[in-house]
Amino acid sequence: MRASPALPLVLALLLAPCAVNAQTAPENAMEAHPAWTFSVSSKCPDLHAADDGPAAVVVFFVNDFGAPSQVSIQTSSGIPALDEAAVKCVQKLKFQPRTRLGDAAPMGSWQKIAWRWQRPAGAPVAAAATPAALVAAGSIAAPAAAAGATELRVCADDAGRLTQAPTVVRSSGDAGLDAAAVRIARAGSGNYRPAQTVGGKPASGCASVSIRFESQ
C-alpha cells in the first residue's frame, strides 16, 4: 500500500505554527501598557512599574486581543524571585494591543515592561539591608533592633545562598514592613558573607539581621 502524497503537505501544515511560535523577541519591543480593565495592584500586589530599585524587564508577544504569550526575561534584575514574579505577573494580565496605521485596527506586536518590588504604603525604604556576616555552625546575637526595625533570622550556605526562608525574630510592629524586610532578606540570597572556619574555608551558618525603615 502506497503512502498518500498529501501526507507531507498535511505534516507541513501541522508543523508551521511551531515555527512561528519559536521566533525570537526583538530588542526594540515597544513599551507595554496593561489594559485599563486589568488592575495591576490586585493581580500583582508585590510589583509595580515605577522607576526605582532593581528591575526585571519582561518581553512578550501581545496578540490583537491583548493576550500575552512567549513571555520571557529580556533583562534580569539579578534577583531570581523578582524575575519569576515579573513573568507570572505578565501572564495574569492583558495589554493594550498595537494599532495599525490607517484603520487603527488592533494587531499583534512584541512588547516589554519592567517590574520592581512594591514598597509598602507610606514610602518607607530600607536603611540597612546589607547581608550580615554569618557565624559557622550556629548563630550570633545582633544588637537590639531599633524602633521601626525588623529583626530576622537568616541562614545561608558556604556560597552565601539562603538555605531556608528568612523568619521574623522581632517585629517592627507593622506587618507590611515585616513582609518587606523578609523580601529584602530573601533578595540577598547569594550575597551573604559566610564566616571562615579554622581551616580558612567558608562555612554555613545563621545570623540575626536587623532591617530598619525610614520615611523619606
Instruction: Supply the DSSP string of 143-203, one letter for each residue.
Output: PPPPTTEEEEEEEE-TTS-BSS--EEEE--S-HHHHHHHHHHHHHTTT---PEE-TTS-EE
Domain edge (last residue) among 84, 117, 150: 117
Instruction: Give backbone dihedrals phi and psi of 59, rounded to 5 degrees, phi first.
Output: -115, 145
Mean pLDDT of the chain: 73
CA dist 151 and 167 (Å) reads 9
Residue type, 67: A
| 194 belongs to a structural domain | yes
Total domains present in the chain: 2
- Model confidence pLDDT, tens digit, residues 133-179: 443 333 333 334 444 688 888 888 777 788 888 888 888 777 878 88
Higher pLDDT: 79 or 129? It is 79
Indicate whether 108 and 188 sit together in one domain: no
Per-residue confidence (pLDDT) for residue 132, from 0 to 100 = 42
Percent of the chain with pLDDT over 70: 67
Mean pLDDT of 111-115: 94
- Model confidence pLDDT, tens digit, residues 12-70: 334 444 333 446 778 889 999 999 888 888 899 888 876 666 789 999 999 999 999 99
Indicate whether 56 and 130 sit together in one domain: no
Per-residue confidence (pLDDT) for residue 216, from 0 to 100 = 46
How sure is the predictor about 92, in pLDDT bands with cuts at 50, 70 and 90? very high
CA dist 169 and 161 (Å) reads 20
Per-residue confidence (pLDDT) for residue 119, from 0 to 100 = 62
Per-residue confidence (pLDDT) for residue 138, from 0 to 100 = 33
How sure is the predictor about 75, in pLDDT bands with cuts at 50, 70 and 90? very high
| Contact between 111 and 96 (Cβ < 8 Å) | no
Higher pLDDT: 4 or 203? It is 203
Domain harbouring 32, CATH code: 3.30.1150
CA–centroid distance for 78 within its chain: 9
Domain edge (last residue) among 117, 138, 159: 117
Indicate whether 184 and 160 sit together in one domain: yes
Per-residue confidence (pLDDT) for residue 10, from 0 to 100 = 39
What is the largest distance, in Å, between two alpha-carbon atoms of the chain? 85
Indicate whether 139 and 112 sit together in one domain: no
Q: Is 95 helix (H, G, I), strand (E, B) or coil?
A: strand
